Structure 1
Amino acid sequence: MAQSVRTSAGEGDAVSLRGTEVTFKLKSDEAEGASLTEWVAAPGFDTGLHVHQRLEETWYVLDGELEFRLGDEVFIAAAGACVFVPPQVPHAFANRSQALTKFLLMMSPPTHDRYFIELAEILGRSGQPDSEAIAALRTKYDTQQLSSLTTDAVPQPAAR
């Protein structure tokens, strides 16, 4: 039987993706349908264009703005905006502003939260990121990278 989960403000396991903080509000081991993460994206954060065959993602911008690319469409999603990307749609999101951007990201199926945990481990190692380890991670978690991944965002203190 599934258990109810409550995560209050400032709570949840967190990882850093080189200056961008990801807090896990609902993890894949807690829910069958989706996982939920809260992000504080540093200026310069950019996922690069990528696609998932099975994963669907939904963003809700809490503060600041994100630039999205969905296929050939590029647009800005400001606070209060919701963006849904179904499987098989090439997409990217980035913080092009000079300020932190805070947003929620819901993923289904939920296991993609493990991708960010394992990516943080790789990016946390000294030296340049291990491109072979990142490529293997992408394959493991249904992510085909179509352009470069930017990992050199300007580190900022996390805002909660």
Structure 2
Amino acid sequence: MITPSFQHVSYPPTYLFLGVQMKVLLSSAQTGGQFTLIEGIMPPGGDGGLHVHANDDESMHMLEGELDVTIGENSFVLKPGETYLAPRGVPHRLRNLGSVPARSLLITTPGGFDEMISQAGFALDEGAVPGPAVPPTPEQIGHLLEVAARFGISVLAPPEPLP
């Protein structure tokens, strides 16, 4: 593990991943592998699919909007000001059943999730605004499964179109 040094990030890289805008505020490389900090914006109808991380814990703090969250046997609505922890090895799923985008801060420990996002997602230009949630194509799901497996993430149920 590399010892982290002072960081000041002005223009973080941003990706579109499963329809979610993911802005990497602090990468694994910048934190010496200790964690990754990402701002995520999930549009209405967005679904992260049911998945499980083998190598990292996931924490989220909701800033705006709401998400329907399932972690193991627990389901709840995550509202602004609320936070969750999904420990490694526990399946979880995030869906935006609302009518407004859900904006949150995502922290994964240790770091490395940013590298998966950069390989499985699509780079967005600064200031680009993604459109409404669209279910991934079979080709995109195939690519996601391949990349996710390299990072110890198993997709148990891919994203689905929401009613």
Q: What is the TM-score of this pair, normalised by structure 2?
A: 0.81
- 1:60-139 alignment, distance < 5 Å: 60-121=61-122, 128-130=137-139, 131-139=141-149
The 8 Å contact of residues 18 and 48 in structure 2, kept in 1 or not, is answered as: no
1-side partners of 2:95 and 2:137: how far apart? 21
- Structure 2, unaligned runs of 5 or more: 124-135
Sort the Cα spacing of 1:58 and 1:27 in 2 relative to 1 into closer, same or farther, 3 A: same
Q: Deviations over 1:8-62 (max 9, x none)?
A: 5xx3110123542110100011112101000111111111111112210100000
- Structure 1, unaligned runs of 5 or more: 154-160
- 1:5 paired residue number: 7
Sort the Cα spacing of 1:99 and 1:149 in 2 relative to 1 into closer, same or farther, 3 A: same
RMSD: 2.1
Q: Deviations over 1:71-129 (max 9, x none)?
A: 1211001000010111111111111111011000001121111111111149xxxx935
Q: Deviations over 1:114-149 (max 9, x none)?
A: 111111149xxxx93524322211110111111122
Aligned residues: 146
1-side partners of 2:4 and 2:153: how far apart? 28
Amino acid across the alignment from 2:97: R
Identity over aligned residues, as a percent? 23
- 2:40 paired residue number: 39
- 2:150 paired residue number: 140
More divergent stretch after superposition (11-20 vs 104-113): 11-20
| 3-state SS of 2:121 partner | helix
Q: What is the TM-score of this pair, normalised by structure 1?
A: 0.82
Amino acid across the alignment from 2:137: Q
